[in-house]
Amino acid sequence: MTSRRELLIAGALIGAMPALAERPAYSGPNVIIVRFGGGVRRRETIDPAHTYAPYLSKSLIQRGTLFSNMEVSEIKDVTATSHSQGTLYLLTGRYDVYKDIEGKFLSERFEPAAPTLFEYLRKAYDVPTHECLIVNGEDRKNEEYFTFSNHDLYGVDYRCHTLSLARFKRYLFTQQVNEGKLTERELLNTRKALTELKRLDYRNTEPLGQGERLDAFWRNWRTHYGDSGLVNARGDSLLTQLAVRALDSLTPKLMMINYQDPDYVHWGNPSHYTRGISIIDRGLEALIDAVQISPIYRDNTIFVIVPDCGRDSNRFQRIPFQHHFNSRSAHEIWALLVGPGIPRGKAFNHRVDQTDVTTTIGALMGMATSEAEGRVLL
């Protein structure tokens, strides 16, 4: 990122934003987007006969509306069956060609050109930054910075915040340096680690830190789990912990949880894929339970559960469910909506598109998603 762009973003974050105060308060439903991530096939998720997600397929589906024939469109030059791109298609509601900001090979530091759902919400309503959240996994750090677009009418002023292990470490290392309790060697190593974490922020989203509400969140997290990193969960189980605590202390209006454990199948063991699905399934149950016991969220929260992409069906491969061959099943996903105003026990098998998710969320939350290409599903 050029120095000029860094200054522009920093200036926008530091400067006063009087226009934002004129927005009406938001009174619509809370929305929790669960990216059933890492790429999953319908067979192992929503098919009751073969599922590794029994809570999803045998209980939760009965409480909402399932779109079992959703697809990621196949468009020339558009990468359709990958995680970062799929996440941005869900956030923006449109297919775009994404390239690393510096053109680095296999790097995925993307900047969406179209506004994200978070920007639409915060521009339409008086919703503070900490009430719009991405909960992100530790192994896909670039997705931490999909918090705003470079659209002229939206952008950094309407960004969301991110909860992740990397963000906690950034808070923790800053505190440890300032507390003055480290040995000389520990201080050197901690400063080095902190510099590396800051370098990951390729969009310079936090020149002034994460803000008072996020600092309080991480302070409480540190009090509960300590500094070692050996007490809190890891992987997608960590994302569930973060999201449940966020519901209690940050009360987000819109939150996207980027689960990813099924992608560990690339390590070469099929059980990594099926186990990852089961971990997300247990996370879903924990999230539903947390909403049901909360007077803030009960009867006022809609879950939108949708994969980032599908996976291949290749019986001639030792691991038949990869997702880099651009096969038909890698484009085949699904979506489940559950919550107030969503018909219960409904299932639709007509073809719908991944971009329809964004437009539908906009309609549910009462905001226009002018750059999105999809149509409203309900």
Cα Dmax for the chain: 64
Question: Is the per-residue pLDDT at 82 higher than 90?
Answer: no
Of 252 and 1, the one with more pLDDT: 252
Sign of CA dihedral 95, 258, 107, 165: positive
Main-chain phi, psi angles of 353, to 5 degrees: -115, 150
pLDDT of residue 291: 98
**Digit-coded pLDDT (tens) for 311-348:** 988 776 777 777 667 788 889 999 999 999 999 999 99
Best-predicted range by mean pLDDT (139-153, 192-206, 277-291):
277-291
Question: Is the per-residue pLDDT at 256 higher than 50?
Answer: yes
Give, in order, the Cα–Cα distances in Å from 350 to each of 89, 372, 377: 20, 21, 11
Contact 53, 336 (CB under 8 A): no
Give, in order, the Cα–Cα distances in Å from 222 to each of 43, 219, 226, 227, 228: 40, 5, 5, 6, 9
Among candidate residues 178, 201, 205, the one with its CA nearest the CA of residue 190: 178
Predicted confidence band of residue 2 (pLDDT cuts 50, 70, 90): very low
Contact 343, 65 (CB under 8 A): yes
Give the pTM: 0.92
Predicted confidence band of residue 20 (pLDDT cuts 50, 70, 90): low
Q: With the CA atoms of 356, 362, 366 and 368 taken in that order, what torsion angle do they form, in degrees rounded to the nearest 10?
A: -100
163: β partners? 135
Contact 81, 310 (CB under 8 A): yes
Q: Using CA atoms, how far apart are residues 319 and 292, in angstroms rounded to an integer?
A: 38
pLDDT of residue 208: 72
**Digit-coded pLDDT (tens) for 351-370:** 999 999 999 999 999 999 99
Predicted confidence band of residue 51 (pLDDT cuts 50, 70, 90): very high
Among candidate residues 367, 360, 339, the one with its CA nearest the CA of residue 93: 360
**Digit-coded pLDDT (tens) for 215-249:** 999 999 999 999 999 999 999 999 999 999 999 99
Q: Using CA atoms, how far apart are residues 146 and 112, in angstroms rounded to an integer?
A: 7
pLDDT of residue 3: 46
Residue 327 in tokens:
């096969």
**Digit-coded pLDDT (tens) for 181-197:** 999 999 999 999 999 99
Which three-class secondary structure state does DSSP give residue 307? coil
pLDDT of residue 21: 52
Among candidate residues 278, 174, 189, the one with its CA nearest the CA of residue 235: 278
Structural domains of the chain in order of their starting residue, each with its CATH number: 31-162+234-365 (3.40.720.10)
**Digit-coded pLDDT (tens) for 52-72:** 999 999 999 999 999 999 999
337: β partners? 65, 304
